[in-house]
Copies of this chain bind each other. A is one copy, B any other.
Amino acid sequence: MPRQIIFGEIPGIEEGHWFQGRKEMMPTSFHRNWAAGIDGNGREGAAAIVLSGGYEDDKDLGEEIIYTGAGGNDPTTGKQTEDQSWHNRGNAGLLKSMNEGLPVRVIRGSSHNSKFSPKIGYQYAGLFSVIDAWEEVGKSGYKICRFKLVYSGDNESRGSAEEIELDHGIRAKKRQIGTILRIIRDTKIARDVKLLYNFKCQVCGTAIEIKNGLYAEGAHIRPLGEPHNGDDSLANILCLCPNHHVMFDRGSFSIADDLQLLGKAAGTLHVDNKHKLDKSNLKYHRDSHGYD
């Protein structure tokens, strides 16, 4: 009978804990799946991942990890031989963990190509949060599902994640009860675009009324920060209501070059004459979320 999935820290296994092999992770449900990188599924979420160099496109910046999802690779060679899918059990699990703000235990194996990997065996890197998911064409030429995870554990002494968009980052201690779901950040350019549209959403025209005025959010089309490295410029930002911002960031809708809305939004994006969007950014967003 399969063991129950457990999210978050597991008593007795501290950050930095070393395992000789993956079987040691199973009795405690630390990582229940001996063969797969991702422990989890789309219904419950993913509770743990092992980084073991299985995918050539992984990136490990320490506090921030760009992780390639599961599937599409040859089990023998590890090479990508077909497209990955968001319906893959593990990939759907990581999406669920992102949407629900569930923590993911990250384990680095010695075969994982990173200066943070142990020389032999496996080492527990701590709790991370999935903050972004997108697709791209990997080095192999096949579609891969990618995730960005940032360190969100309890270890105050660790250097913090390199998160662009933050000038005045609010760093916060944790308690036992909560889970982060979503962080909205803003930039000076975001303030400009909101003023240009008088806080009206470019998709639905809504301006949220608050105590002393109106509220909207600046939404970068090509995200800032690794690995997307979009610009903080008017050509790369939209004025959206929070609902459409969530949808746009998750790829529920995208925008064609002629400004037609694609996916779960209908009609045309409203764009002011003074607002020149960079079409390569629109294409980047479409490509990231499977709009052809």
Complex partner residue of A173 from B161, B241, B264, CB under 8 angstroms: B161
Q: Are A101 and B178 closer than 8 Å at their CB atoms?
A: no
Task: Jot down 14 A-B pairs with beta carbons below 8 A, ordered by A.
Answer: A8-B168, A101-B185, A151-B170, A161-B170, A162-B173, A166-B172, A167-B179, A169-B173, A178-B186, A179-B190, A179-B191, A181-B217, A241-B242, A242-B246
The stretch that binds B, out of A52-60, A107-115, A204-212, is A204-212
CB distance A160 to B171 under 8 Å? yes
Alpha-carbon separation in the docked complex, A8 to B212 (Å)? 22
Q: Which of A156-209 contact B (CB under 8 A)?
A: 156, 159-191, 206, 208-209
Closest Cβ of chain B to A45, distance in Å, is 10
Contact segment of A23-31, A75-83, A92-100: A92-100
With A170-B183, A177-B189, A178-B186 known, 12 other A-B pairs at CB within 8 A are A99-B210, A129-B168, A168-B174, A168-B179, A169-B171, A169-B172, A178-B188, A179-B185, A180-B186, A184-B184, A210-B247, A211-B251
Could you say which residues of chain B place their CB within 8 Å of the CB of A174? 166-169
B161, B171, B177, B188: the one within 8 Å of A187 (CB): B177
The count of identical subunits is: 2
Contact indicator B187/A173 (Cβ below 8 Å): no
Please give me the 5 A-B residue pairs with the lowest Cβ-Cβ distance, nearest first.
A181-B186, A163-B172, A242-B242, A152-B168, A182-B184
- Please name all residues of chain B whose beta carbon is closer than 8 Å to the beta carbon of A211 when the two chains form the complex: 86, 95, 133, 250-252, 289
Contact A173 B181 (CB under 8 A): no
Who on chain B is nearest to A290 by CB? B211
Taking a contact as CB atoms under 8 Å apart, the answer to whether B176 and A243 are in contact is no
Q: Are B186's CB and A100's CB within 8 A?
A: yes
Residues of B within 8 A of A100 (CB): 186, 191
**Which B residues touch A209, using CB under 8 A?**
247, 252, 264
Interface contact A164-B171, CB-CB below 8 Å? no
Residues 238-264 of A contacting B (Cβ, < 8 Å):
241-243, 245-247, 250-252, 264
Q: Is the CB of A166 within 8 A of B170?
A: no
